[in-house]
Amino acid sequence: MTYIDVFNGDADGLCALQQLRLSHPVDSELITGVKRDITLLQQVRAEPGDIVTVLDIGLDQNRDALVKLLDMGVQVHYFDHHFAGDIPPHTNLHQHINLSAETCTSAIVNESLNGQFAIWAIVGAYGDNLAAVAEQIAAPLNLSTEQLALLHELGECLNYNAYGETQDDLYFKPAELSMRMRAYADPFVFMREDTVFATLRAGYAEDMAKAAMLQPAHQTAGGAVFILPDEVWSRRVSGVYSNDLASNHPNRAHAILSHNSAGDYTVSVRAPMVNKTGADTLCRQFPSGGGRKGAAGINHLPAASLPLFYEQFNLAYPG
């Protein structure tokens, strides 16, 4: 029997897997990628009786590969909070899917483990820009303000590392990062003993300083669209810059467009913090679009479709 862990390479996927493997240690094959690699189940090569654990990637966009695995006798444990569509009623599927805008995969895993490694769930929730969820999980742990601030920063740094067109854009490949985290039940010890945090913290500060100089390319009463320059730092910063804008302008929707190698765009959308709805609906109007109500994206937006995106963005968030 082979164990295969399939997970989003962002903070939420990493911290969800971290909790599970601290609780249930196994030698597993890791399948992951950059934040935008969301059809990961297509990469799974499993045999009947194998156990596949899926974390933080949408079921709807992995449906065909999932059904194939289930029908061949693979046990699939699915933890997620993205749009799922119809969930296959299959005896081999053990799903923990919650589409609420006020949860994330790390929080879902934390609940399934009865808070066994809640401190890593806090990191994942902060990385997913769900501070209220993180602080709710943290409440029983009596952490200081300084400790919460460090966990918040670690979550942001892990999330920052996931954004790029390919894994070569990242400071650390997510599979490597997961294995470096694996030995640490305590994220504070991880931050002290491993160089990951210091490296990402410095890169994050440098890239965000560049992003802070940008002005909107398109703006309405209800939202703002930013187009990042065609540079590696832009691809790295796209997601965390979206979260930063959302936190600093909670009444406004945001879209961040990064150039890709095809001469088109990758899009990251954040709904207003005061009303976390509509991001997934907006992005699913375009091929390769998906996500959740509060935060979604489009993997490939043709440059010719930019005026249409502006139009649909205005309709989704008129102000």
Whether residue 285 lies inside any domain: the answer is: yes
Asked if residue 248 belongs to a domain, the reply is yes
Alpha helices in 72-195 (DSSP H): 105-112, 118-127, 131-138, 145-160, 174-181, 187-193
Which residues span the domain enclosing 294?
215-316
The answer to whether position 206 is within a domain reads no
Q: What is the pLDDT of residues 5-26, one digit of tens each?
A: 999 999 999 999 999 999 999 9
In the chain, the number of structural domains is 2
pLDDT digits (tens, 9 = 90+) for 266-282: 999 999 999 999 999 99
In a domain, 117, yes or no: yes
Q: Are 191 and 222 within one domain?
A: no
Looking at the fold, whether 36 and 95 belong to one and the same domain comes out as yes
Do 106 and 59 share a domain, yes or no?
Answer: yes
For the ranges 40-49, 121-130, 237-246, 287-296, the lowest mean pLDDT is seen at: 237-246
CATH number where 182 lies: 3.90.1640
pLDDT at 27: 96
| Judgement on whether residues 231 and 304 belong to the same structural domain of the protein | yes
Residues 178 and 226 in one domain: no
Q: Give residues with Cβ within 8 angstroms of 12, minimum separation 6.
A: 56, 104, 105, 106, 124, 125, 127, 128, 159
Q: Model confidence over 29-55: pLDDT tens digits?
A: 999 999 989 899 999 999 999 999 999
SS3 letters for 19-51?
A: HHHHHCCCCEEEECCCCCCCCHHHHCCCCCCCE
| Judgement on whether residues 196 and 63 belong to the same structural domain of the protein | yes
Last residue of a domain, one of 201, 232, 251: 201
CB 69, CB 41: distance < 8 Å: yes
Summarised one tens digit per residue, pLDDT across range 97-119 is 999 989 999 999 999 999 999 99
Within-domain flag for 133: yes
| Model confidence, pTM | 0.85
pLDDT for 283:
96
pLDDT digits (tens, 9 = 90+) for 117-176: 999 999 999 999 899 999 999 999 999 999 999 999 999 999 999 998 899 999 999 999
pLDDT at 239: 80
